[in-house]
Every structure is written in structure tokens, then in C-alpha cells.
Chain A
Amino acid sequence: MSGTPNDTPTMSREMKILNKHGMHARPAAMFIKVASRFESEILVEKDDTRISGKSIMGLLTLELYQGSVMTVSAIGPDAAAALDAIEELVNRKFDEE
């Protein structure tokens, strides 16, 4: 982000949606729940659309179906931990099939 000081950690990671139903309301709610635990700003990007990872309506509009790949970025002191936690959630398929 342009306004961010240079020493603020910024990290990005690509993540693949694994659960059958994709990012519908329930997984989106879990996503923001996890993202909101961290101080870092979380951004999710897919197909040139970038939204806040703490906005439920934003996440839903990305249309992340099974097999889609999104880029999750975290900007802030706990960026690494935030990405780890989000990745763990995505990889355990949001507790779905």
C-alpha cells in the first residue's frame, strides 16, 4: 500500500480453494473471523479485483469456487501469523467437504 511505511511487513501468498462449495457465506464468515483476529490489514485478490479480507460482501463477490486461486496479502506487524492462520483455514476446507 502506498501509505504504508517501508518497515511494515507486507506478505502475500497464493491459496487454492479446496472445499466443494467454494467461498459461500459460511466459509466467508469464518475467513473474516480469522482475519479480524489480527492487527494486519488483510487483502484478497482474484482476477484484478482486490477487496478487504475483513469484508464479508467483498469476499462473496470474488466468486471463489473450488479450484480458484486467490492471493491473500497481509500488511502489518503480525502479517506472517495472519497468513498462516488463513492458509490453515483454507487448507482444512473451512471444515466442509
Chain B
Amino acid sequence: MQISIAQFLEAAQDVCDLTVASGEKYLDRSIREGALNRPGLALSGFFQYFPQRRVQVFGLAENAYLKSLSAEDRRERLTQLFEQRVPCVVSTRSRHPLPELLECASAFKVPVLKTSLITNRFINQATLVIENLAAPSMKYQGTMIEIMGMGVLMEGPPGIGKSETALALIERGHSLVSDDLTVLRRDSTGAINGSALDITRYHMEIRGLGIIHVPSLFGVASMRREMRLDLVVRLERFDPKREYDRTGLISETVKILQAEVPAVTIPVAAGRDIAHVVEVAALNQKLKQLGHDAAKELDEKLVRALERKRLA
């Protein structure tokens, strides 16, 4: 794992109210373990199992303990700590770091950050931020829409009508997550989350119209920043020679970032209202998540009915 302090700072700035107290030029150092540490034991001189790859957090207790030491001891312990090549130090509760800490940090080229949060809250928030930064992610060619609480990613060859279908879905009251290119990220629970690239968020391209700004045309409710991925819809040109599953009994999945995501293939033939079909596919998937599989239930009902007739 390699996350630079600069990356961490950018991602955590808002949620953690972080600022740089010193060492602005050392922000390219990297966090090498996705957790944070309160270095109490290390400050008392015990360095066995010291997690030096983690962000070191100085809260009220650490500061009070340092202050209780003689100036000499204080400098010695801090030197020992920074000798471990820690990625960065964070001082919580807006406390200005002790002068010895700043001196040692700059001697070892370690940046010192400051947050207004209390220690526990900072650790919780920062852990989430680091986990997110470290989460496996990829860019996926496809348009993502939120349909009544379901994240649906539409993929298919260029010109098949992904954006047009998305537009029709937006007009029906659903929300756009991203057009054409979606950033997918696997979170710590294994779920896949989709979002737009920052630069193109809120925009989509419609052939013949060019680029449009979705919330200006359809209101803020037409946009959604991030959405869990529940279903992949593959749009493909209708091929009369191909045999499509007509029952929905066969469950298709697609592997994305090591996760199996349910998928459906929808043949696109002229005159078919694809937006409507995609909407129903999303609802049907929602029903399946609730434990109702319409195709399977009808089949079971049929088998029972046929069995009764056979024995009658």
C-alpha cells in the first residue's frame, strides 16, 4: 500500500479539517499501512512492535505525557520515534505541536498536520479516508444510473444508446451517477461503488446535441454522486441468430474488482423502449435482493401444478 501524505491530505481535508503545521515539502512521503497509531508506548520508550508504517496521532494524552518529561527526555523520545521513519504526525484538537516535536519532525523530514477534531473522531474519519484511498478501483466504460435505490451500470458498444437510455431514465425521475466512464471502487465490505470522474461529473454527451449539463436541465435530484453497484445491464445489438435466455432462470454475473455483480443482457432491437426495460430489470433485481425470484417462483408453482395433474 502506498498513499502519499498529499493524497491523504486532499481526501481528508474536508472531513477531518486538516491543515499542514510544518513540513509542506515532505508531503510526498507515503503511508504504508492503512491504520493510525497513538504512539503512547513508544513515547514511554517501548518500541517493540511499533507500527512505524502508520500515521502517528498525538492527542491530549500524548501531549500531556510529553510535557511531563524533562526537556532532555522529551527530545530523546521524540528523536527515537522519528528515527523509525514514520510517514507523518497529526496533532488533534487544534493543539499546536510542541516545539521539540516540530524540530525533530523537520530534522527527519516528516510533515506535521493539525486537525480540529478530537482524537477518536479523527481516527475514525481518517481510517475511512485511508481505506477508501487504498480500495481497489478502476475506470469502467459504462453509464451508471440510480433507479429507485438500485445502482445500474449500462455497458455496450458505442452508439447502442447508453446515453439516450440514461436520458430517458432521468426524464422518468431517476438519477445519473456518471455518463460513459464510471469509476468503480471496492469498499471494505466488498461492495462495488460507482461515481463519475470529477472533471466530467454532471455532464453527458448526447449525439446530435453535444454536451449537456444535467442538473441545469433536470434539477439537482437528477444527479447522484456515488451509488452502490447492484446490476450490470449489457446492451447489445439484437442478433436473430443468437439464442437469448427467455426465462430469467439463468443468473448471469460479471466479475468486477473480484466481486461477482449480477448482470442481464438486453438485446436492442429497433423500436424497443430500452429505458423501460432497464427500469424493470432494476426493479426485478431489487425483488431478487428481497428474496423473490419471479422466474423461479413461477417455475416452482408450475412444477407443483403439473405434478397434481399428473397424479390426478
A and B assemble together = yes
Nearest to B245 among chain A residues (CB) is: A29
A25–chain B nearest beta-carbon distance, Å: 4
> Which A residues between 1 and 60 are near B, CB-CB below 8 angstroms?
20-26, 28-29, 32-33, 36-37, 56, 60
Complex Cα–Cα for A23 and B243 (A) = 19
Q: From B12-20, B190-198, B219-227, B303-311, give the one contacting chain A.
A: B303-311
Across the interface, which residues of B come within 8 angstroms of A24, CB to CB?
A: 299, 302-303, 306
Do A23 and B249 touch across chains, with their CB atoms under 8 A apart?
A: no
Across the interface, which residues of B come within 8 angstroms of A33, CB to CB?
A: 243, 246
Nearest to A67 among chain B residues (CB) is: B310
Interface presence of B107 (CB below 8 A):
no
Do B309 and A26 touch across chains, with their CB atoms under 8 A apart?
A: no
Do B295 and A25 touch across chains, with their CB atoms under 8 A apart?
A: yes
Interface residues on chain A, number (Cβ under 8 Å): 20
Across the interface, which residues of A come within 8 angstroms of B295, CB to CB?
A: 25
Complex Cα–Cα for A4 and B298 (A) = 36
B76-97 interface bits toward A, Cβ cutoff 8 Å, 1 = contact, 0 = none:
0000000000000000000000
Interface presence of A63 (CB below 8 A):
yes
B189–chain A nearest beta-carbon distance, Å: 34
Interface presence of B247 (CB below 8 A):
yes
Complex Cα–Cα for A56 and B247 (A) = 8
Which of B245, B302, B310 has most A Cβ within 10 Å?
A: B302
Complex Cα–Cα for A22 and B310 (A) = 9
> Which A residues between 66 and 83 are near B, CB-CB below 8 angstroms?
66-67
Do B247 and A21 touch across chains, with their CB atoms under 8 A apart?
A: no
Do B246 and A60 touch across chains, with their CB atoms under 8 A apart?
A: no
Complex Cα–Cα for A25 and B306 (A) = 12
Do B299 and A32 touch across chains, with their CB atoms under 8 A apart?
A: no
Complex Cα–Cα for A63 and B307 (A) = 10
> Which B residues between 55 and 89 are near A, CB-CB below 8 angstroms?
none
Which of A20, A37, A64, A65 has most B Cβ within 10 Å?
A: A65
Closest 6 A/B residue pairs (Cβ): A22-B306, A25-B299, A65-B306, A65-B310, A65-B309, A24-B302
Please list 24 pairs of residues, one from A and one from B, whose beta carbons are closer than 8 Å in the complex, sorted by A's number.
A20-B310, A21-B303, A22-B306, A22-B309, A22-B310, A24-B306, A25-B295, A25-B298, A25-B302, A26-B249, A26-B299, A28-B247, A29-B246, A29-B247, A29-B249, A32-B246, A33-B246, A56-B247, A60-B298, A60-B302, A65-B307, A65-B309, A66-B310, A67-B310
Known: A20-B310, A21-B303, A21-B307. 5 other contacts (CB 8 A): A21-B306, A24-B299, A25-B295, A63-B309, A65-B306
